[in-house]
Structure 1
Amino acid sequence: MNTKQLDRIHTGEGFIAALDQSGGSTPKALLQYGVKEDLYSSEEEMYALVHEMRTRIIKSPAFDSQYILGAILFENTMDRFIDGQYTADYLWEKKGIVPFLKVDQGLADLEDGVQVMKPISGLNDLLKRAAERGIFGTKMRSVIKEANPSGIKKVVEQQFAIGKQIAEMGLVPIIEPEVDIYSADKATSEKLLKDEISSQLSTLDEDVKVMLKLSIPTEDNFYSDLMEDPHVVRIVALSGGYSQAEANEKLAHNHGLIASFSRALSQGLNADQSNDEFNVMLSQSVQAIYEASIK
């Protein structure tokens, strides 16, 4: 584990950019960016276009380590290059931004009010490759739709079981049990979730480090006590479908919680913008998310 990177994520001021839309969500991300589906005819063309979009974001002067601590990549992005360097190397060496990798392969069907992760095939091989590619940590997402105690327990147990496997490979796992922001019993789900996370943290070996990526809680500062746990490097928040303004406003009420936004970060960016227009728009987003993260 790179101690410089660990220190930056643990104590740095700023937020984590999520650039990890994968197979299923890539067409949506491209559409938001103004690239319609009739502009590509194969998966390879689609991934080439999304890498162009991500490269434009990463190379922008607005994508600055003064505001951005880390960036989460998709596997396909990790294996591609920016100016002749692997993406993760470019991020760290040229930008001073810590690279993470999304490792989950999507969600299972809804059962017991939750969606656990599908089995992650070839995970150890992927983690080995990630370590070789200069990746610091990983991210994997499950979803909680209802305050179902046995469902929430299943989600957290799965996340931590895989998290331990990731930690053994020398990477820091971001554990992401997202609570659906539209859930009718969101606050109750969050209480159950926090209890399950606390009990799982108590089972970790002393030297294991994890991060948590959680929905912005209904009750302000609800996760403050988890931030004090010695195993927890940082707690980051997902935007979860809120607009950027709404996500920033809610985040600002949670001291110590920092953003890890995807759609809310790229909101307003368009393929047809000139570089100046693009950079100004990205700069405004980065600044606003940063301000909400340091409150």
Structure 2
Amino acid sequence: MTDQDKAAKIRAGNGFVAALDQSGGSTPKALRQYGISEDRYSGEEEMFDLIHGMRERIVRSPAFTGDKVVGAILFEQTMDRTFDGVPAAEYLWKKRGVVPFLKIDKGLEDAANGVKLMKPMPDLDATLARAKKLGIFGTKERSVIDAANEGGIEAIVAQQFDIGRQVLAHDLVPMLEPEITISIPDKAEAEKILRDCILRHLDGMKGDDQIMLKLTLPEEAGFYAPLADHPKVMRVVALSGGYSREEANARLAKNPKVIASFSRALTEGLSDAQSDAEFDATLRDTIDSIHAASVA
């Protein structure tokens, strides 16, 4: 099975991308949602062992297969670990039929011009080379837009495409994620600025390269269709962004060219205290609902 097979699976879009890439800053919150409070671990090592246990339980569940989950985004530390004794990326593709992606950003800079750019990634080339060897298909890199500020959004998009070109040079597919905060009052205006800016950058791409986009669910149904239809875009996926799973699914279903890439909404309802049967049943219902919204 080659990268062409993985690309075909993503392009077909018969499912969604699971975001299993909680990093150091978001892990305590994810563990609390899963029913594990801070008093149950001491230090980062124990914390990451526990979150890996949650991720492994998800991907080993009979509900988690390539029939409805087309891809999964991993935290770098997860890429270097195993699922059921098999390297994580290899397990996802060979055992589950799920295309593996890697989160590569190192967090956010302080806010300026209404946005938070990505922090520098000085070791990125080495990370990308290692990821390619381990069977990773693509990357994901997140920055945040907090206002409809044209200069800030242009800076966000320019940085995303710069990193994207670096990823493409390693024969990996970049998933650009300029997230718009769902609570800002000028969200719809920010979406228009972002869409138009991305289109200009896409039109400037040369050769046969393609990227992916991970975007906040828009206020207007079908708003990102011009991006999804662009020949330089392999797929547009949507983040849940703090919406409940119910609302995220409802919004997603109104955007037929977009599939989900949910994190918190994927793990909503899962608990460390559940029996395997309860856990699998909850995860199956979740996957079914997100899949249905993605292929609507």
TM-score scaled by length of structure 1: 0.99
Q: Report the equivalent of 2:175.
A: 174
Q: Is the CA contact 2:101–2:140 (under 8 Å) kept in the aligned structure 1?
A: yes
Instruction: Give, in whole Å, the separation in 1 of the partners of 2:13 and 2:28.
Output: 33
Deviating beyond 6 angstroms after TM superposition, the runs of 4 or more aligned structure 1 residues are: none
Q: Give the AA of the match of 1:101.
A: L
C-alpha displacement of 1:249: 0.6
Show the counterpart of 2:29.
Answer: 28
Counterpart of 2:6? 5
1:234-279 Cα offsets, whole Å, 9 max, x none, are 0000000000001001111111110000000000000000000000
Query: 1:104 corresponds to which residue?
Result: 105
In the other structure, the counterpart of 1:147 is 148
Q: What is the count of residue pairs matched by the alignment? A: 295
Q: How does 1:26-175 map to 2 (within 5 A)?
A: 26-175=27-176
Q: Does the Cα contact within 8 Å between 1:16 and 1:261 map onto a contact in 2? A: yes
Task: Report SS of the residue matched to 1:212.
Answer: strand
Shift of 1:11: 1.1
Partner amino acid, structure 1, of 2:57: R
SS class of match (1:234): strand
User: Over residues 159-211 of structure 1, what are the superposed CA-to-partner deviations in whole Å (9 max), with x where a residue is unaligned?
Assistant: 00010000010000000001111110011101100111011111212211100
Identity %: 53
In structure 2, give the amino acid aligned to 1:149. Answer: E
Tell me, in whole angstroms, the C-alpha distance in 1 between the residues paired with 2:201 and 2:49: 40
Q: Deviations over 1:26-48 (max 9, x none)?
A: 11111110111111112111111
Aligned partner of residue 188 in structure 2, secondary structure: helix
After TM superposition, the structure 1 stretch with the greater mean CA deviation from structure 2, 33-42 or 263-272, is: 33-42
SS in 1 for 2:236: strand
For residues 142 and 42 of structure 1, what CA distance do their matches in structure 2 show? 27
Letter in 2 for 1:212: L
Name the SS for the 2:238 alignment partner. strand
2: CA distance between counterparts of 1:75 and 1:42?
Answer: 18
Work out whether residues 269 and 282 of structure 1, in 8 Å CA contact, stay in contact via their aligned partners in 2: yes
Contact 1:206/1:231, CA 8 A, preserved across alignment: no
Deviation string 1:67-110 (CA, Å, 9 cap, x unpaired) is 10000000010000112211000000000000000000011111
Letter in 1 for 2:84: D
How far apart, CA to CA, are the structure 1 residues paired with 2:94 and 2:168?
Answer: 23
Displacement of 1:111 = 0.5
> Distance in 2 between the 1:74 and 1:131 partners?
15
Offset of 1:121 from its aligned partner? 2.4
In 2, are the aligned partners of 1:61 and 1:279 still within 8 Å (CA)?
Answer: yes
Whether the aligned pair in 1 keeps the contact of 2:13 and 2:259 (CA below 8 Å) is no
Where 2:7 maps in the other structure, the secondary structure is: helix
> How far, CA to CA, are the matches of 1:51 and 1:104 in structure 2?
19
Look up the SS of the partner of 1:282 in the other structure.
helix
Gaps in structure 2 of 5+ consecutive residues: none
CA distance in 2, matches of 1:26, 1:129: 24
Quote how far apart the aligned CAs of 1:12 are. Answer: 3.2
